[in-house]
Amino acid sequence: MKEKVYEFKDQGKSCVIYEPKPPRHWFNYLWSEKGYVAQISQSGHGRSYYLNEKAEMCMVNNQDARYVYFRNDDTGECWNIGAMPMGCENWEYRCDHSIAYTRLSSIHEDIKASCLLSV
């Protein structure tokens, strides 16, 4: 039986993704009351922008995507927690997209890494 790619939890308030490279990015949009929006995918890829009261969008990191990287100071090796864009091998990958946050976690070369993005 094939493992699940994702499942909904907490009465549908969270989506847990178990595959860092599904056919399409699965984005979460995190909003502040002041109009700041952080977009993040299951691989840690995202952009930030600001929406004014007329819903006009101003990109904060225009033309630059955001990724979350880690580095092993002992070896100098770098990797991405969601495997992309570097294509590294990670184990026990998990992405929790929730109403208030996104949490990414995985293990690479026996180093467990996790990050939490919230606005």
Kindly write down the DSSP assignment for every residue of 31-84, as one continuous string: E-TTSEEEEE-TTS-EEEEEE-TT--EEESSTT--B--EEE-TTT--EEETT-T
Q: Positive or negative, the Cα torsion across 37, 40, 41, 45?
A: positive
Distances (CA, A) of 114 to 19, 42, 46, 63: 15, 13, 17, 26
List pLDDT tens digits, range 57-94: 777 766 667 787 888 888 888 888 887 777 778 889 99
Reading the block at residue 9, the tokens are 């939890």
- Give the mean model confidence (pLDDT) for residues 26-40: 90
Q: What is the pLDDT of residues 101-116, one digit of tens each?
A: 999 999 988 889 899 9
Does the pTM exceed 0.85?
no
Q: Over the chain, what is the mean pLDDT? A: 85
Instruction: List domains and CATH numbers for the chain.
Output: 6-112 (2.70.98.40)
